[in-house]
Structure formats: C-alpha cells, structure tokens
Amino acid sequence: MLKVYNTLSGKKEIFKPIVEDKVGMYVCGNTVYDFCHIGHARAMISFDIISRFIRHLGYDLNYVRNITDVDDKIIKRAAENNETTQALTERMIAAQQEDELRLGNKMPDREPKATEFMQEIIDMIEVLIEKGFAYQGDSGDVYYRATAFEEYGKLNNRKLEEMLAGARIDVEQAKEHAADFVLWKQTKEGEVFWASPWGNGRPGWHIECSAMSTSCLGNHFDIHGGGPDLKFPHHENEIAQSEACTGEKYVNYWMHCGAVRVDNEKMSKSLGNFFTVREVLEKFNPEVIRYLMVSSQYRSSIDYSDQSLLEAKVALERLYTALRDQGVADVVTPSDYTKRFEEAMNDDFNTAGALSVLFELVRDLNKAKTDDSDKALVLAAELKFLAELLGLLYQDPEYFLQNSVITDGLDEAAIQALIDERTQARKDKNFARSDEIRDELASQGIDLLDSREGTSWSRR
C-alpha cells in the first residue's frame, strides 16, 4: 500500500483517496516573472514522479498546477523591461514549459492562471467578508482576519504568536492584527487592475490558490503539494481561507519537497549561487539534472554543485551503458525487481531506494548479456519500464553517452573522423598511430570502447 508523509500530521499515512480510484492533486506553481531556477526544477521533477507513480498504481489522477501571472514582482519586472505584464508572463510561461520538456517532465493535466479566475477570487472574498473572516481596512485593501480562524497554525503545528515571532510580517496601520494578510489590494496608477466591490485592484497571492484549487478540484481534495518555503505563510493561509469559506476540510495530504542547497549554502541571488535551469543546461545533459533530483527522496534536501552533477552523470552512464547495443523485449515481464522497486516507491516515493533496485537489475543484465541473450532482452525491457516511472532512460543510449556533458571541444563529426582513421591504422598494423589517436581523444575527454561490432565512444 502507498504510504505518504503528511505535513499536516507529521507522519507517514496509508494513502486513501476521497473517491475510490480517483485522485485530485494541486501543486503550487511558479510566479512567472523570470526563468526557472534549479529550486523550481526540484519541485517540478518531484511532483512529476509522484504523478507518474500514482498513475502506475492505477489511480485516475487529475494533476493541477497553477501559474501566478499577476503579482508585485511581475508588475515591477514588466515595468523594468518596458513591456506589458501579459507579454512578460506569456514569454516566461513558454520558457518554463520548454525547460520542463527538456528535463523530461510530463505536463500537468491543467495549468490554471490566476488572471483567469478573478470572478472566483472575488466571490470567495465576498463570502469571507460575510462570515466575518475578512474586512476592508482604511487603506481600501481587504484583509483576512487570522485570529477569527481557530485552527490557524495547524499545518505548521504552531500557535499564531509562535509563528509570528520568527516570521517577516509587514505591519500596516490598516490591519487589525499583524498576522492578517491581504486578500485584495488597491492598485496604483498605471498598474494592471480588475474591478471589484472594493474598488479597482488585484488579488493577494494566497487567495489565488484557494480559488483555483477549489474551482478545479472541489472544496475538498486529496493532495496539495509545493516547495518547503510554502508551508508558512502561504499554505497555512490557504487552509484558513478555504476552510473558513467552504466550511469543509480543504486537503487530506500535504506534501512538501526538500530544498536545494548550493555548495552546502542556501541558494540565494545575494550570495551569487543562484542558477537557472537554462544556465545548467549549457553544461550538462538535462537528464543529468533530473537524475540528481531523483537520487534523493523528494523530502530530502539536495546539495547542488558541479561535483554532484558529475557524480549524477557517472551513475546515469552506468545505466545507459547497460543498454548500449542491447535489444529490448517487446513485452515487459515483471520480476522481483519490479516488486522491490514498487515497495520502495510505495514508501513515500523513495526514489533513492528505487534507483538502488535499478542498479541491481543492471548488474544482472550485464551478466546476462554474455550468458543468456534471451534473459538480457527481458531484463532490458524491465529496466526501461521501471526507469520510465522516474522519467529516466528516455534517450538513445549512444546519444546520451556522447552528450552527457556539453563541451566546446571536438564535435561528433571530428570524433568520428579520428575513430575512422584509427580503425584504418589498426587494419594497416600502424599501432603507434592508433595509440596516438586514442591518447589524443582521451586528452579531450573522449573514451573509446572497442568491441566486435566496432568502436563506440563517450564523453568523460
């Protein structure tokens, strides 16, 4: 049975969907004012794998991940670029989708935009005001009355005053309490706005997700996910808004992936250790990045560095080398490897444990390649099938092994020309020239592998 760590309870729980065989999952997406960074990649890949395995278990999954396309940061960046907020967000959404596809992700079933749900947002705020959970301050902004929700703090298992002590809270004169947060804010001259009962304005960040998630999945759904920095205040506020508005339980299972650290420090622009996905893809094959993210269970933090990426590259090359020049059976025959892979994944999506099973399978496959070709075909098919659940081994083995790192060195045509020259030198028994070519390629990070079928190569 699938067990999921629930942030709300602080423990692993047996997963039981609200509706048998159906699962609704909402994940907080990005605020699209800039290119995706590797922290975004961690969340994207984590919940892509979670969605793949939930479907593998036979559930009919509805995976919704929102896009925040109106926000202070978006307005500021658009003004700096001298472009409209719509032009900026459309460009960044296209870039995000391109990055995701390169990283091997499957797209969510639905990606609602905040700007498409303005009426639902306004309707929810009106209900909160009517119930006494929200009010309009002297500034004209509408605030949520945090003290009115008795269970405020239950996601983080802390009382309101305790959370405020360590949090950065904007204290505004218009608020009744420091913990109150904005639901609708008045716009400044020249900013994008929508008409509302409280004047022209735009929604606060927290209310957007409450409106989009309940509109797409209903008032009560199974899973809500996001990054580690969203537990407070964002997800805490979502619970307060949603449950106060609907009178129902909001979400059964809260899931949060781990953070990405850079050389053992928190990733931060101010520290100069902030990397976009696009910057990393200039040096490494996208599947290397994915492997790094998969190599740790999704709740664990990941230390990102060039060294960790190189280690991921080497590990992934071991898997691809097993498939090089290896046929694959037409039908997948599950064995004990599949059973143990599923056991690992059923334990709160333990991808690290699942990967260890794949490497055991590879050892068996490499042995079968010389001892039993029929068994090798079957094991190769099982390896591909299980790896696909992690979004791995989707490239041609030869291509990956030759392109696991991006280099300004010899291109493929130049490498092949030298290999052809070496092959001819060996035929001519000119072994000195053959060795010279091997050494020349090795000095540029190109390793050769001679076999009965010929010579293949890979980048070191």
Contacts 24+ apart (CB under 8 A), 123-126: 123/211, 124/207, 124/210, 124/211, 124/214, 124/241, 124/245, 125/183, 125/184, 125/196, 125/203, 125/207, 126/197
Q: Under 8 Å CB-to-CB from 150, ≥6 apart: which residues?
A: none
CA gap 216, 116 in Å, rounded: 12
Judged on CB neighbours under 10 Å (0-12, 13-18, 19+), 289 is: buried
257: annotated binding-site residue?
no
Phi-psi region of 441 (alpha: psi -120 to 50; beta: other; left: phi over 0): alpha
209: annotated binding-site residue?
yes
Phi/psi for 302 (5° steps) reads: -120, 135
Spatial contact of 2 and 57, defined as CB atoms under 8 Å apart: yes
Phi-psi region of 271 (alpha: psi -120 to 50; beta: other; left: phi over 0): alpha
CA gap 277, 40 in Å, rounded: 9
238: annotated binding-site residue?
yes
- Cα 456 to Cα 331, 340, 423, 438: the distances in Å are 28, 33, 11, 12
269: annotated binding-site residue?
yes
Q: Which residues belong to the annotated binding site for Zn(2+)? A: 28, 209, 234, 238
Feature table: binding site for ATP = 269
Binding region: 28, 209, 234, 238, 269
